[in-house]
Amino acid sequence: MLLPLGLLAAEPGPARQLLWLWLALGGAVLVFAVILAIARSLYLRIQQQKEVERELLAEFQEAVERGEMSPEEFARVRRLLIGRMTGESAPLPPPPAKAADVREEDLPILEQESYTSPAAENADQPQQTERKTDSDSASPESSSAG
């Protein structure tokens, strides 16, 4: 173990120059390894984010198939997510027309549905109400102090 220190303390010669060369080479390898580890970490983080966005896009696709989302909404979300994945910012489509700009003929015809509220269904049953008193809302500290 004293050999490298002895070489550093020795007079300049081929052995000392060789030692400095190996130390410089070892330092360069160490710096390269650190840079490589940082680059790998960033790459894996980006890949993980892209995977999350792909899964999110698949969930939105399933929502369209189930009828929970319109194809227009899906197209907009898809454009935004793909823009994020590729690093581009997708231009937003023009905003939908205002309610005043929509003609009545363009609106869909909805069938009239009969709806019975839960209160109307239970009108013949007695209602249970919960009354709140001041002691219910008092904090534990104020009730223990008094």
| 145: in domain | no
Interatomic CA distance for residues 37 and 92, integer angstroms:
37
- Taking the CA atoms of residue 69, residue 73, residue 74 and residue 77 in that order, the dihedral angle to the nearest 10 degrees is -130
| 79: in domain | yes
Give the pLDDT score at 125.
Answer: 58
pLDDT (average), residues 80-100:
65
Give the pLDDT score at 146.
Answer: 46
| 47: in domain | yes
Which residue range forms the structural domain that includes residue 68? 38-91
| 70: in domain | yes
Helix, strand and coil in the chain, % to nearest 5:
65, 0, 35
Interatomic CA distance for residues 78 and 16, integer angstroms:
63
Q: Is the whole-model pTM more than 0.85?
A: no
Interatomic CA distance for residues 66 and 139, integer angstroms:
47
Q: How many structural domains does the chain have?
A: 1
